[in-house]
Structure 1
Amino acid sequence: MAMVVTEPCFGCKYTDCVVVCPAECFYEGAQMLFIHPDECIDCGACVPECPVAAIYHEGDVPARWTDYIALNGEMAPLSPHITTRKPPLI
């Protein structure tokens, strides 16, 4: 199981979560971040750092956002790796 970035990240893309990730498993899409499920160590360090509460453990993703589980898995390998803080979109 892995952590999953969900809907609240779309359009804001805060990177507070990225800098605390010991596995460096975040990837940057045009409108949001993604977590690579094969790289995530499920530590949860990113969860309290997200100012918009967009990150959930895969088993705790709200029903309305379960499509984001697959989206993270699909988009992370196609997106640039991110390990440093950047200005948010908003």
Structure 2
Amino acid sequence: MTYVIALPCVDVTDKACLEVCPVECIYEGERMLYIHPDECIDCGACEPECPVEAITFETDTPEEWQHFTAVNAEFFTGLDSPGSGAKRGRTGRDHPFVAELPLQRKA
């Protein structure tokens, strides 16, 4: 099990969750943040920091956002065993599902 970042994060620039993650398992895409499921230790530190309530425990993710569990995991395909979101910095890409979404919020 892991935490998942879902739709409310798309096009949000707040990164408070990055600052509190003790294992740096949150990575920055172009339009949203992603949690690496193999690196997340399920501590829950990120969840209360999210201003748009986009972070949930995998089994608590609302039905309409459950596909974001796969979106988060698949985002890391081909990303070279990252190891640290903070060290990696912005990845310059998003999962195709997220990349194709219409603008969610104005910057």
Answer yes or no: same fold by TM over 0.5: yes
The offset of 1:49, in angstroms, is 0.3
Q: Report the 3-state secondary structure (helix = DSSP H, G, I; strand = E; otherwise coil) of the residue aligned with 2:59.
A: helix
> What is the CA-CA distance between 1:64 and the residue it aligns to?
0.1
Count matched residues: 86
Alignment-derived partner of residue 37 in structure 2: 37
The structure 1 segments of at least 4 consecutive aligned residues displaced by more than 6 Å after TM superposition are none
Deviation at 1:13, TM superposition (A): 3.6
* AA partner of residue 29 (structure 2): G
Alpha-carbon distance between aligned partners in 1 of 2:9 and 2:76, rounded to the nearest angstrom: 14
User: What is the RMSD of the two structures over their aligned residues, measured on CA atoms?
Assistant: 2.1
Once the two structures are TM-superposed, the CA of residue 76 in structure 1 deviates from its matched residue by 3.4
Structure with the greater alpha carbon radius of gyration: 2
Cα distance between partner residues in 1 of 2:36 and 2:3: 9
Indicate the residue corresponding to 1:16 in structure 2: 16
Structure 2, unmatched stretches of 5+, are 88-105
Deviation at 1:14? 1.7
Greater RCO (CA < 8 Å, at least 6 residues apart): 1
Read off the aligned partner of 1:7 and give its amino acid letter.
L
**Equivalent residues of 1:7, 1:65 under 8 A apart:** yes
CA distance in 2, matches of 1:47, 1:82: 17
Deviations 1:11-32 (A, max 9, x none): 1142100110011101111100
Q: Give the % identical residues.
A: 50
1:83 pairs with 2:86: yes
Verify: 1:26 aligned to 2:26, yes or no.
yes
